[in-house]
Structure 1
Amino acid sequence: MKGMTTTTTRLERPPVRIRGVQRVLLDSAYALTAFPVSLAAFVVVVPVLATGAGLSVLGVGLALMTLSVLIARGFAVAERVRLRGMLGRSAPGPRYLRAREGDGVVRRVLMPLRDPQSWLDVVWSLVGLVTGTVAFSVAVAWWAAVGGGLTYWYWERFLPMDEDGVTLASLIGMGEGREPEIMLNTGFGVFALLTLPWVMRMAALTHAGLASVLLCGRAELQGQVERVQDSRDAARVAESASMRRLERDIHDGPQQRLVRLAMDLGRARRQVHNDPERAEKIIEDARRQATETVAELRSLSRGIAPPLLVDRGLAAAVEEMAQGCPVPTTVSAYVPDGLPPHVETAAYFTVAEALTNVAKHSGAGEAQVHVTMSGMGLVVEVSDDGVGGAHEGKGLGLAGLVRRIEAVEGELTVASPVGGPTLVRACIPVDRR
């Protein structure tokens, strides 16, 4: 196989999970900055929007409203950056409406006002101040409790004592004097420190939850629609390519054999009386051709809907396929029952195409097939110790396999440096509801 490594990705990978002290600090930073950012959005967007609404009967009023929408859009972009950078969320950005070529000045100016996402950005600029204030207040209060409680032993000496010696510690029965008060405040600080990760997470999610709904919900919906459209288009292309390939295989194989079979039978009929022995040889050759044609048609039918896959499942079908591969192949398949048919079919043809390439192009001495379930779905891996260099070039079938995997919203990765080894990995999402 010649060429270079090709990777096609369709599945969205989960965001990186941040834990420990870094997670607490990032949550705290997000909560503490929520108030100033949301306050800035509120004090800038609301006056401009209100002024534009008041002057909406004039052209300048609509222009001011458009300006306020664009400002809100800028704050929305900044908030998505904060979500991605501080909380590790995907936070996709939506596709805003854009003026088309040839639109007039008025239409271009008013285009942001027609975009539903623009008004969601404006709503975020208004209500984000509420959640931002809550997140900021909780973060400040808890960090103050941590800092003040754990350091109270030092700075309490600078506080004047009440003449009566009444303190919070004495009121709850811990005793009078500075020592009980130090113990009480230190206990508050320890409690605040131990609960800090959960409280900061709650404060951050209070603000981030609303931001995700208003600023990313429509983008996620757009992404789902786009993935469905891409999968549908890929399925159509894959089906069309499969039908053309089947038609070509039938034309080049069984059809030619049947034409020759008909000609041989015609010759045998003419010679059956004049030369029975020769006619018998022709008939025997025709019988052999008929047997080969049936076998080839059966092979082609397995490429459309493998009977063993339907009858006994994916693991048995992969085992049988590996046994028929000219290159020694080991199989480890751990597949649960009840997989959707389209998942099993995609996995089967992944193995079939990969082993075909191994047999024809790799020069490998052995191959391995692994089929397992993971958190991302059904994972199919086919590796060999051949010469490498696999790519989506003509004749290797990987381009068609990419389209087939795209049709089920999966991911296909081909790692094949020149000199080998080669690893073909398909991850197919499984919805078992």
Structure 2
Amino acid sequence: MTETLPLTTLITPAAPAAPARPRGVRRVLYESAYGISAFPIALVAFVVVIVDLTLGLALSIFIGGVLLISVGIMVARGFARFERIRMRGMLGRSAPTPHYLWAERGAGFWKRQLYPLRDPQSWLEVVWAIVGLVTGTLAFAVTLAWWAATGAGLTYWFWQQWLPDRQPGDHELAYYLGLGDGRTAASLVQLALGVVALVTLPWAVRLVATIHASLASVLLCSRAELQHEVARVEGGREAARMAEAESLRRLERDIHDGPQQRLVRLTMDLGRAKKQVAEDPDRAAETLDAALAQARETVAELRSLSRGIAPPLLVDRGLAAALEEMTAQSVVPVQSRVDVPADLPPHVETAVYFVVAEALTNVAKHSRASGAEVSVVVDGAELEVRVEDDGVGGAHPAKGLGLAGLRQRLAAVDGTLEVTSLEGAGTAVVARIPL
């Protein structure tokens, strides 16, 4: 099979990758550190940004005041970047950085300084520097309180001996619970409270860390996700245009190099036969036979080219019938499994058809395989197309244009293409198209 990879490769538009989320005790420690550090960082951001913006507004009638506002916004950007780093590193959350508005290269000093004021994301980060103090305080207080309750409860039996003696009438919690008034009873009650705090610690810490991080995600990352989605849609549209343009150029070239030349020759043969009819009937008959063969070859070539535009069977009888005919006509024996709904969108059917057609063409031409398998099934909210062979493998996209064209075609329908090709272990082409 051509256009394959020596190792598993995912061909898909780049997307922000989520870092690995810590697990177990490590996750609790990371979330605790995130909650504890949230308050001091938020406090510093609040004070610096508020003071800077307040002075800037107060002095806005002067040139320096406007510059102070711009500096305050840039400071808020810095704290926002740091928060995204904390979310990725300590919580394992996807925290993409949005694209900021920047003045073009060569712009003047004032334009460069005032350009951040036009960026909506910059003002969202100013809002974060203000309201982040609220959730940061909550995260700090709850995390610190739970850890203190856990540590104090579990170790009370040890350090209670250094507590001053109680005054007459003073009682421990154990006394009010009816467990007595001695140090042993107090130690057992505190130990029970410490165990409860320890058991609930992961959930308490995770709750406040999630609250703080969720607010940060909304204010600091939501526009980045929207920008990525817009870029993905625009990339898919551009890929569709490129695939269509490439298909038209290839079709034009194939028609010019094939059927057009055959039709020119057919016209010349018919003209020659017309002259030979009266002078040499036998020679005219031979010329007409050659012209007839030429016409048949032209019709066959036109049919072959028409499959790359809109396969008639796909249009008339649907995807399942078109794939069944394709696998039946394959040079390499193919086992197929096609289980798809009858109401698939036309663009999905067309994409699936060309994926299977290109993959089977590569199998026949290059894989030296003794058999292949084709599977087209619905997997959740996606349609999975899998074509596997037992050939020599070891191909690469740089060897041809087939998979590159499939990549563009799939990008136009928000699909992905995954190719696995090991030397001597065959090739697997897997396309996934969202429904």
- SS of match in other structure, 1:382: strand
Matched, 1:389 2:395: yes
Q: Normalising by the residue count of structure 2, what TM-score does the alignment of the two structures yield? A: 0.86
- C-alpha spacing 1:337/1:41, structure 2 compared with 1 (3 Å): farther
Structure 2: runs of 5 or more not aligned: none
**Residue equivalent to 1:50:** 54
Cα separation, 1, equivalents of 2:317 and 2:159: 76
- C-alpha spacing 1:139/1:311, structure 2 compared with 1 (3 Å): farther
Measured on the aligned residues, the alpha-carbon RMSD in Å equals: 3.1
Structure 1: runs of 5 or more not aligned: none
- C-alpha spacing 1:256/1:99, structure 2 compared with 1 (3 Å): same
Which of 212, 221, 229 does residue 216 from structure 1 map onto?
Answer: 221
Cα separation, 1, equivalents of 2:68 and 2:81: 20
Residue 264 of structure 1: how far off its partner (Å) = 4.2
Matched, 1:130 2:128: no
What residue identity is the alignment partner of 1:224? E
Q: How many residues align?
A: 429
Cα separation, 1, equivalents of 2:27 and 2:350: 42
Cα separation, 2, equivalents of 1:177 and 1:170: 8
Residue 315 of structure 1: how far off its partner (Å) = 4.6
- Tell me which moved more, 88-97 or 8-17: 8-17
Residue 414 of structure 1: how far off its partner (Å) = 3.7
**Residue equivalent to 1:409:** 414
Which of 7, 11, 33 does residue 8 from structure 1 map onto?
Answer: 11
**Residue equivalent to 1:41:** 45
What residue identity is the alignment partner of 2:37? T
Q: Percent identity?
A: 57
- SS of match in other structure, 2:304: helix
- Tell me which moved more, 417-426 or 67-76: 417-426
**Residue equivalent to 1:255:** 260
Cα separation, 2, equivalents of 1:353 and 1:162: 89
- SS of match in other structure, 1:92: coil
Task: Tell me if structure 1 keeps the 8 A contact 2:368–2:392.
Answer: yes
- Tell me which moved more, 135-144 or 155-164: 155-164
Residue 423 of structure 1: how far off its partner (Å) = 3.5
- 1:149-188 equivalence runs, <5 A: 149-159=153-163, 160-161=165-166, 163-164=168-169, 166-188=171-193
**Residue equivalent to 1:325:** 330
Cα separation, 2, equivalents of 1:264 and 1:63: 83
Task: Tell me if structure 1 keeps the 8 A contact 2:419–2:427.
Answer: yes
- 1:316-395 equivalence runs, <5 A: 316-335=321-340, 338-374=343-379, 377-384=382-389, 385-393=391-399, 395=400
Cα separation, 1, equivalents of 2:3 and 2:411: 24
Write out per-residue CA displacement over residues 343-375 of structure 1, whole angstroms, 9 at most, x where no aligned residue.
332232122212222222333333333444446
Cα separation, 1, equivalents of 2:182 and 2:343: 71
Residue 126 of structure 1: how far off its partner (Å) = 0.9
Write out per-residue CA displacement over residues 201-248 of structure 1, whole angstroms, 9 at most, x where no aligned residue.
211111111111111111111111111111111111100001111222
What residue identity is the alignment partner of 1:358? V
What residue identity is the alignment partner of 2:403? L
Q: Normalising by the residue count of structure 1, what TM-score does the alignment of the two structures yield? A: 0.87
Residue 286 of structure 1: how far off its partner (Å) = 4.7
Matched, 1:142 2:149: no
Matched, 1:232 2:237: yes
